[in-house]
Amino acid sequence: MSPRVQRVADQIQRELASLIQLEVNDPRVGMVSVTGVTVSRDLAYAKVYVTVLNTLTEDEAVNESTLSEPGVLDKLEIEENIKALNKAAGYLRTLLAKRLSLRSVPKLQFHYDGSVQRGQQLSSLIDSALAADRDLHS
Query: CA-CA distance, 87 to 13, in Å (whole number)?
Result: 18
> What is the DSSP secondary-structure string of 45-110?
EEEEEEEEE----S-HHHHHHH-SSTT---HHHHHHHHHHHHHTHHHHHHHHHHHS--SSPPEEEE
What is the side-by-side strand order in the sheet with 31-39?
A: 31-39, 45-53, 107-112
List, for residues 32-91, the tens digit of each pLDDT value.
899 999 999 999 999 999 998 765 545 555 555 554 454 455 788 888 999 999 999 999
The number of residues making up the chain comes to: 138
Task: Enter the DSSP assignment of 114.
Answer: T
All structural domains of the chain, each given as residue ranges with its CATH number in brackets, are: 3-113 (3.30.300.20)
Query: CA-CA distance, 69 to 120, in Å (whole number)?
Result: 14
Least confident of 1-5, 72-76, 116-120: 72-76
pTM of full prediction above 0.85: no
Q: How many helices (H) and strands (E) does the chain have?
A: 5, 3
pLDDT higher than 80, residue 118: no
